[in-house]
Amino acid sequence: MRQQLEEEIFGTGQAGGSAPAEPNRRAMHSFAALVLSLSVLVGGGFAAYHFIGPAIEKFVATDDYPGPGTGSVTFEVQEGASGTQIAAGLVKAGIIKSTSAFISASSAAPDQAKAIQPGSYTMKKEMTAKDALAYLSDPTHRSVKRVTIPEGLWASEIYQRLSKASGIPIKDYQTAAKETKALGLPSAAKGNVEGWLFPSTYEFEKKSTAAEQLTIMVAQTVKVLSDEGIAKDKWESTMILASIVESEAGSDKDRPKVARVFLNRIADPTGETIGRLYSDATVSYGAGRRAVSPTQAELADAENKYNTYLYAGLTPGPISNPGKASIDAASHPATGDWLYFVTVNPSTGETKFAKTNAEFLVYKAEFTAWCKKHPEAKCFG
């Protein structure tokens, strides 16, 4: 039986005891299907089978389009799709002529096969299998929902950016944010996603939901905290402090010092700062208004629980979504006895640190002078 199958596929036997038999097309496809089954998941490449590659090339030549192709069609590589599934999908979409041609091309270029990633690709119809493989292996051809979330945004601002990139309504993100258990939000967060949506550049799958996107962002924050070795009972306080540092520090080099200033203030309930942070950023967050400095009315608002001019200690929750540099600063603050700092030049982020109120007042005057020169900044509302 084996000899007969080989004869039918390769044409090495005799039909009727005389003329060479024509290759049996159905048997050839069966053989190609057997080889096709050797492929593994995307990212793992295709199984090596160089010893049969030449034989496959011989019989798939007529199962390939001449190329270069025409028209346009969107092709989706699903997460976890195998080489077999990708090849079959390409055939179904009219992009390549046969699965065997694609497997043959993959055998000849295994590195390209390994490079294929999930996502959407705009391709031509009737391409050669070799060209289709090369196209899919090029990451610049991959279409995904890419969005960059910078450090320091409020959750509400993040929803706006995600919605603009994905086309998903903002209300879907707002709804998803309330299902904190489904998002994998740690219990330490007390049901509040603010602070836990890690800033980064994300590539979301085309069909990903608002909940799936937020879940990925929360998981990234948890990963950073875990990698830092921060104890779980310190996660929430770390994220609160990190969020304030993110909103107040002018540069990465200042973040550890800014973290130390706030910790020194909290640790000095009977001293100059009476345990209060005196953070403009916390007041503005509670007031729901982005500003360089809060207004006098906002500073006097006792209804604002984030008003650290009136309430001692950390705020009830994070006031922004901090990046790794601020989380590092909160978990590893600088050593020093500063109690004050002033960003004297908001344009450059130049910040000066002071140990006494007298020094602080000098630096505050510098900031006020900057504000007078830049009325467009609306420093005081």
Say if CB 301 and CB 307 are below 8 A apart.
yes
Please list the residues that pair with 350 across neighbouring strands.
345
Say if CB 366 and CB 342 are below 8 A apart.
yes
* Mean pLDDT value across residues 330-345: 95
Domain ranges of the chain: 2-143, 145-228, 232-377
**How far is 377 from 290, CA to CA, in rounded Å?**
11
pLDDT tens column, 237-251: 999 999 999 999 989
pLDDT tens column, 94-148: 999 999 999 999 999 999 999 998 878 889 999 999 999 999 999 888 876 779 9
Average pLDDT, the chain: 85
Structure token pair of residue 368: 């006020």
Say if CB 164 and CB 145 are below 8 A apart.
no
Helices of type H across 37-128 = 53-60, 83-92, 99-108, 110-115
Q: With a threshold of 0.75, does the pTM exceed it?
A: no
* Mean pLDDT value across residues 171-194: 96
C-alpha 316: how far from its chain's center? 27
Give strand ranges (E) for 116-259: 119-125, 142-143, 145-148, 201-204
**How far is 77 from 43, CA to CA, in rounded Å?**
12
